[in-house]
Amino acid sequence: MADRLNVCIIGSGNWATTIARNVGNNALTSQFLEPTVLMYVYEEYIEGRKLTEIINTTHINVKYMPDYVLPTNVVALDDVVTTARDADILIFAIPPTFVSNCCKTLLGKVKPLAHAVSLIKGFDRGDDGQILLISHIIMRQLKIPCSVLVGCNLAHEISNNNFCEGTVGCRDQKYMRILHDLFKSSTFRVVVTDDADCVEICSTLRNIIAFGAGVADGMEMNENTKGGIIRRGMLEILQFVDVFYPGSRMATFFESCGLSDLVTSCYANRNRRLAETFVKTGRPLSELEYVLVPGHEPLGPVTAELVNIMLKKKGLEDKFPLFTTIYRICAGAYPLARLVETLRFAREDIYHPNHIFQL
Amino acid sequence: MADRLNVCIIGSGNWATTIARNVGNNALTSQFLEPTVLMYVYEEYIEGRKLTEIINTTHINVKYMPDYVLPTNVVALDDVVTTARDADILIFAIPPTFVSNCCKTLLGKVKPLAHAVSLIKGFDRGDDGQILLISHIIMRQLKIPCSVLVGCNLAHEISNNNFCEGTVGCRDQKYMRILHDLFKSSTFRVVVTDDADCVEICSTLRNIIAFGAGVADGMEMNENTKGGIIRRGMLEILQFVDVFYPGSRMATFFESCGLSDLVTSCYANRNRRLAETFVKTGRPLSELEYVLVPGHEPLGPVTAELVNIMLKKKGLEDKFPLFTTIYRICAGAYPLARLVETLRFAREDIYHPNHIFQL
């Protein structure tokens, strides 16, 4: 039998801790994996004790997930290089803005044949200022392939053993089964596809749409308006993938990373709530982001801005009227009422020209 | 200039009256249409007065839409043959079970070049017992083409001038613009496609999925379960069209008849509410249907049953696990908990085999 693979997790927030429970349990029973899973924890002191020490003795991440117990084979470390150096699979679950520095620290210190998996949603700027998917930043900086796991925008739903779905976008055929077995549980259904860019983009762009849905909720618009935002949003996601990451497959949009994450985000995620509060209170976004989600950056407005930069550069703002409208509402450049105007007048033929007749 | 077209509406319920307002207003301003729109009303007596007489004097359909005024050029008649005989466009908006008899009455009495438009959702049995789409029943019996208008499952949202979307599935190129102009309003966005079967099927099958979503709500399942039902539901709708009405286009599923109607139904329609109450009260469906929706047959359970007959005939029940599970829950043959089991174990490759890796 081949050597078993070492797995580490870089990050210890809510989502990292959630997935550490699945990964820890699966490592214990898998024939492909070493049982011990190292987890890099940004060291903090909680009532005078180190967080790593608390996790390693109580097996509870008291800071980010106090109600759940981790498997005892998940071991917290306060040094990222020590955590990562022997790992064959590196799972990244840190805020997007920390990725670049983390990779700089790790460059040349991870196994050359290691495989990364990003759980991080969003775009960020690479070293050269170019806007990139997080997995691309990791690949460029660490020089190893980086798959993605997305889905289930509600970490507590996995932890509570409610039914959830996730999609892995895998960049190496031989990791498909391994990554499936690494993340799944009896209630967390994982599907693996090789259309990795599309998986990551869907899960990133949906935060823009969720923000738009929250604006509609804040304005107490009707159900059909929200349905229209979801539909138009899906069309613009399709078109965005087609323009910026061509070659993706239609099937991927029907995975959980596409259709179901988009819908659940528009009814239940924090971007939606942020937007609703933004509309109802009239307070600036910068204030609300801090109040509503301390420790979590709501990705809708940030993503809307980065996407707008990408669109502007190609002269495509008009071809993505919903993304553009939501960005401008966030930026204070459009009144809220523009949202419905956009739905009313947006052309239908963006993705399938000639297929649809419209005046 | 060519002769203007005569339009009539057959039916006077909630949806018929809603669309009569748009059609009436558009007929007044269109250069293609005669201004007078005849509406067939099933005669009833309201406090001793004929309903047709009330509508023609007060312009209010006191029975089905007491809060809205109809344009004065909409004229109610109590005889269906008189209503239809001079019409170039016949809009059908009656309960599905009345369609067959209505067509029998009209056969040979409508203009041979007339064009029908069905606003009726659902399947029904044709004369030979075969299960057919309503528009196909109309076409077979009346020997004229029948387009469909679907979308906006919430008639009051159109009436209140909230933003809504509708899709016309048009069976004759030269009616595309006419039907668009006939139904649209400043708040009701209408898109016309020629993929008529797909439009009608989407709007029919979504009632099964909405019932499933309501079961999940009744069981107080989590958001991701509902997202999973919507996603799986969409996949089975795609597959159903592929098996029973091949040749449809993917773009149609992204019209309002597809994605947005499915989503809004799963959050806000009467099938969802019926299912939620069914689960929470434990009372039989037959009792609840009457209590919840007097005068309206909630189509979810009925459609689930007809679809099941179609699937069984082809030995395909296993390939449509969600449709089959929802049907069996309606029929009392499965416990409610089977719904989540189905989501958990349903195979992913139904629509796009080879594209997706799954264990």
Nearest to A263 among B227, B238, B250 (CB): B227
What stretches in chain A show pLDDT beneath 50? Answer: 1, 350-359
The number of CA neighbours under 13 Å toward the Cβ of A105 is 13
pLDDT of residue B355: 34
Q: By the CB < 8 Å criterion, does A212 face chain B?
A: no
Look at B223 and A267 and tell me if their CB atoms are within 8 Å. Answer: yes
Q: Rounded to a whole number, what is the distance in Å from the CA of B336 to chain A's nearest CA? A: 15
Q: Rounded to a whole number, what is the distance in Å from the CA of B254 to chain A's nearest CA? A: 7
In the block, tokens 């966030």 appear at A330
* Residues annotated within a binding site of B for substrate: 121, 270-271
d(CA A97, CA A91) in angstroms, rounded, equals 16
What stretches in chain B show pLDDT beneath 50? Answer: 1, 350-359
A120 burial class (0-12, 13-18, 19+ CB within 10 angstroms)?
Answer: buried
pLDDT of residue A25: 97
Look at B231 and A254 and tell me if their CB atoms are within 8 Å. Answer: yes
Closest chain A CA to residue B191: A358
Nearest to B157 among A181, A222, A263 (CB): A222
Q: Rounded to a whole number, what is the distance in Å from the CA of A78 to chain B's nearest CA? A: 33
pLDDT of residue A249: 83
pLDDT of A21-69, one tens digit each? Answer: 999 999 999 999 999 999 999 999 999 999 999 999 999 999 998 989 9
Closest chain A CA to residue B344: A189
pLDDT of A113-145, one tens digit each? Answer: 999 999 998 888 877 888 999 999 999 999 999
CB pairs under 8 A between A and B: 185
Residues of chain A contacting residue B234, judged by C-beta atoms under 8 Å apart: 254, 259
Look at A231 and B355 and tell me if their CB atoms are within 8 Å. Answer: no
Largest distance between two CA atoms of chain A: 67
Closest chain B CA to residue A177: B359
Domains contained in chain A, CATH given? 5-194 (3.40.50.720), 198-345 (1.10.1040.10)
Look at A355 and B226 and tell me if their CB atoms are within 8 Å. Answer: no
Helix (H) or strand (E) holding A188, with range, is: strand A188-193
Nearest to B348 among A191, A223, A268 (CB): A191
Residues of chain B contacting residue A177, judged by C-beta atoms under 8 Å apart: 357, 359
Residues of chain A contacting residue B337, judged by C-beta atoms under 8 Å apart: none
Q: By the CB < 8 Å criterion, does B160 face chain A?
A: yes
Helix (H) or strand (E) holding A5, with range, is: strand A5-10
Q: By the CB < 8 Å criterion, does B228 face chain A?
A: yes
Nearest to B191 among A160, A340, A356 (CB): A356
Angstrom distances, CA of residue B231 to CA of A55, A137, A251: 37, 30, 12
pLDDT of B41-79, one tens digit each? Answer: 999 999 999 999 999 999 999 999 898 999 999 999 999
d(CA B88, CA B109) in angstroms, rounded, equals 12
**CB–CB of A196/A135 below 8 Å?**
yes
Nearest to A221 among B162, B352, B359 (CB): B162
Look at A344 and B222 and tell me if their CB atoms are within 8 Å. Answer: no
**CB–CB of A350/A236 below 8 Å?**
yes
* Residues annotated within a binding site of B for NAD(+): 98, 155, 270
Closest chain B CA to residue A237: B254
Cα dihedral A227→A228→A230→A233 (10° resolution) = 180
Q: Which two tokens stand for residue A329?
A: 């509402």
How are beta strands A65-69 and A115-118 bridged, if at all? Answer: unpaired
Look at A343 and B223 and tell me if their CB atoms are within 8 Å. Answer: no
Closest chain B CA to residue A178: B359
Q: By the CB < 8 Å criterion, does A1 face chain B?
A: no
pLDDT of residue B182: 97
Q: By the CB < 8 Å criterion, does B280 face chain A?
A: no
Q: Rounded to a whole number, what is the distance in Å from the CA of B52 to chain A's nearest CA? A: 32
Q: By the CB < 8 Å criterion, does A238 face chain B?
A: yes
pLDDT of residue B356: 33
d(CA B51, CA B42) in angstroms, rounded, equals 8
Closest CA to B93 of B177, B19, B190, B5: B19
pLDDT of residue A208: 96
Q: Rounded to a whole number, what is the distance in Å from the CA of B6 to chain A's nearest CA? A: 22
**CB–CB of B7/B87 below 8 Å?**
yes
Residues of chain B contacting residue A172, judged by C-beta atoms under 8 Å apart: none
Q: By the CB < 8 Å criterion, does A264 face chain B?
A: yes
Closest CA to A339 of A208, A207, A213, A210: A213
Q: Rounded to a whole number, what is the distance in Å from the CA of A51 to chain B's nearest CA? A: 31
Residues of chain B contacting residue A348, judged by C-beta atoms under 8 Å apart: 191, 255
Closest chain B CA to residue A224: B164
Look at B222 and A164 and tell me if their CB atoms are within 8 Å. Answer: yes
Helices of type H across A269-331 = 270-281, 285-292, 299-313, 321-330
**CB–CB of B66/B13 below 8 Å?**
no
Residues of chain A contacting residue B225, judged by C-beta atoms under 8 Å apart: 162-163
Angstrom distances, CA of residue B225 to CA of A213, B230, B270: 20, 9, 19
Look at A264 and B224 and tell me if their CB atoms are within 8 Å. Answer: yes
Q: Which two tokens stand for residue A196?
A: 């990795």
